[in-house]
Amino acid sequence: MSQYNLSWPPDKRHGSPSMVDVLVELSLVRGIHLLFQLSPDVYFKKPGYYILHFVFSYQFIMEWMVLRKIIISEGRTRQFFEIMGELISGKTPDLQLIERVVFLDNTLLTAALPPAGDRPNTTSTYVRFSALDNLTGSTSLGENMLRAVNRLLPPDRQMTDDDEIWVTHGGYLGYLGRLLGDDARSETLRGYVGLQLARYLSASASSRILKEQMPQRSGPMILMLSHCVMDAILTIPYVMGDLFVRWNLEERDLVEIRDMVTRVRNATRDGFVNLSWIDEATRTRALERIDHLGSLVGRPVNLSRTEQLEDHYSFLPVLKGSYAHMLAAIRDSESKRLRGLLKSSESYFPAINVELPTVLVNAFYVPVYHVMVIPPAILFAPFYAHSVPASFNYGSLGHVVGHEITHAFDPELSLYNASGIREDWWTSQSRRNFDVRVQCLKTFYNKVPWAGGVPYGDTAFSENFADCGGLEKVYRAFNSLGYQADHEIGDRKYSARQAFFINSCYKWCSREMPGSKTENSGDSVKFYSPMHMRCNVPLMNTPEFAAEFKCAEGTTMNPNQRCEVF
């Protein structure tokens, strides 16, 4: 912190460095992303080359949101700022400074995060440095950011006004333009950055500061350990994933699961080939999307041997000293490697062009990069077990795979082409036909008897769309296996298809403890429908379910009207 003349409260005796210079260097050189992340990333327009990517620092902001909520709920906002001052500099900030910093914090978080009920803004665009001011609303931030970047690059890698930068969430950049453009040396801003830097580093460097953030008995240890695990997950994700695979999975498991993924992918492709309500131009683009969809199942195939991993992470230094020093050395080395890819005259194709977390009990689709990730941590019961019939695994993990593939055709998430540019690849008539079906599904969810008055059809549409579309895809993939024997579950016998549908719900089983908030309470953002709806509504929308279980026509689980997804 002294290197950047940062403290809390800010020290008025020293010079006032430009916060543009400080924040750019922290992000680009030290790998510490506070108000924003500015780092080299894949240049989709020019495969094999890299470009600067500006995006708000999601990890930093979300962690601070959680801690901030705790501090406010405990009524110790002023106390927090005062004690942090005493711990960091031995000084107590005055009340006026605290009030200005709180106001800055409120406006920054409002600009960074979406309104309640909306997902984070992931809209991306390319813009030249010379046109950056059009996004920032500042006449100086683009010039100052270019200057700050070039301070950190060698003479033969200097960037120019004509170089492009990849911007995600341009609206947040507009707020930063106002914050950093004309008053980048303000005492309030310097104090805020100093405070947040100390808070961010405390997990590896200061148990006393950590304790002030979470004074509950186990709070500091939880925060420290979560940082430790997250540091490894984000820095060397494929090493972590490889260890997980080696310790817990057999090669036969990965072979079986990858075959399942291939079958779901093929079922998706066949679905588009036979879809009657899209024209040939849209069909061609849809087939290109499924053919080019990347997939990471368990671990990257080309990073499955020790020597491949060692080569991929060869930039890592020999680590020694305290954990804080080791972590700083890792960040510095990784940042140096990435900076070396900017303005390179030679193309570079790594084993995989994006570092993605693999030790998560979840699966996800990454827009723009157009890749589906099925981490090894999810390849266990109740999602997958080698010893159970295929109907169990296809109904559980297979549905998850179908869900993520469906996200690649989401009305919003899918609107990026191979260059990373937002583009509606549907023809106007096919889009109108699609919109009718989208509206049908929204209405379908809003009217189900378990919604409790919450419009899940609107607020959780993306996940509902993936749940329903994913079930349809994996059901066809399961049928591609051919005949499957009946199964006993408990003391009853079920056909393989019935067992498939039962297991599509089993993974959503959950228990609500007495006195806990219900899923229909108004306190949380409804990105997902409640578990019982995620089980039942896709089944309601699947005529094959009603046929297998002989549900009477016009009943809840065999409604007269359904919605075609894909």
- Per-residue confidence (pLDDT) for residue 214, from 0 to 100: 80
Which 3 state secondary structure label does DSSP give 189? helix
**pLDDT exceeds 80 at position 17:** no
Token pair of 413 as six digits: 């998430």
CA nearest to 248, candidates 75, 375, 129, 156: 375
Q: Do 318 and 333 touch, CB atoms closer than 8 A?
A: no
Query: What confidence tier does 432 reach under pLDDT thresholds 50, 70, 90?
Result: very high
Q: Where are the domains of the chain?
A: 2-217, 239-300+355-549
Mean pLDDT of 24-35: 96
Mean pLDDT, residues 338-361:
91
- Give CA separation, 117 vs 12, 240, 456, 525, in Å: 42, 33, 10, 5
Please give the pLDDT value at position 183: 65
CA distance 414 to 408: 5
What pLDDT is stored for residue 141 in this prediction?
Answer: 86
pLDDT tens digits, 74-109: 999 999 999 999 999 999 999 999 999 999 999 998
User: Any long-range contacts for 383-391 (C-beta under 8 Å, 24+ apart)?
Assistant: 383/507, 384/253, 384/257, 386/250, 386/252, 386/253, 386/256, 389/484, 389/485, 389/487, 389/496, 389/499, 390/478, 390/481, 390/484, 390/496, 391/478, 391/484, 391/487, 391/496, 391/497, 391/499, 391/500, 391/503
Distance CA 32, CA 146 (A): 19
Q: Rounded distance, CA 291 to CA 423, Å?
A: 18
User: What is the pLDDT at residue 182?
Assistant: 64
Provide φ and ψ at 326, rounded to 5°. Answer: -65, -45
* Residue 187 predicted with pLDDT over 50: yes
* Residue written as token pair 């067992």: 499
pTM for this structure?
0.90
Q: Which residue has the higher pLDDT, 177 or 475?
A: 475
**CB atoms < 10 A from the CB of 551, how many?**
17
Which amino acid type is present at position 401? Answer: V
The Cα–Cα gap between 349 and 235 comes to: 19
Cβ neighbour number for residue 301 with a 10 Å cutoff: 14
Chain segment 212-262, per-residue pLDDT in tens:
888 777 878 888 888 888 888 888 999 999 999 999 999 999 999 999 999
Q: Which residue has the higher pLDDT, 355 or 113?
A: 355
| Mean residue pLDDT across the chain | 91
- Residue 32: band (very low, low, confident or very high) from pLDDT cuts 50, 70, 90: very high
Q: How large a percentage of the chain has pLDDT more than 70?
A: 95
pLDDT on residue 51? 97
User: For 113-117, 198-202, 548-552, which range has the lowest pLDDT when averaged over its residues?
Assistant: 113-117
Residue 256's pLDDT is 96
Domain 239-300+355-549 has CATH 3.40.390.10: yes
Q: Is-contact 542 476, C-beta < 8 A?
A: no
**CATH class of the domain at 2-217:** mainly alpha
What gap in Å lies between CA 6 and CA 481, rounded to an integer?
A: 63
pLDDT band, very low/low/confident/very high, at 118 (cuts 50, 70, 90): low
Given pLDDT bands bounded at 50, 70 and 90, which one contains residue 347? very high
pLDDT at residue 482, rounded to an integer: 95
Average pLDDT of span 207-214: 85
Q: Output the pLDDT for position 515.
A: 47
* Cross-strand bridge partners of residue 127: 165
Q: Looking at residues 296-315, what average pLDDT do you find?
A: 94
What pLDDT shows up at residue 523?
A: 44
Tokens read off for 181: 């453009």
Residue 184: the pLDDT is 62
What pLDDT was estimated at residue 264? 98
Q: How confident is the model at residue 435 (pLDDT cuts 50, 70, 90)?
A: very high
Pairing of strands 492-494, 487-489: antiparallel
Q: What is the pLDDT of residues 500-528, one digit of tens each?
A: 999 999 999 887 654 444 444 544 457 88
Mean pLDDT of 323-339: 94
Mean pLDDT on 170-195: 85
CA angle 121, 125, 126 (to 5 degrees): 150
More confident residue, 495 or 413: 495
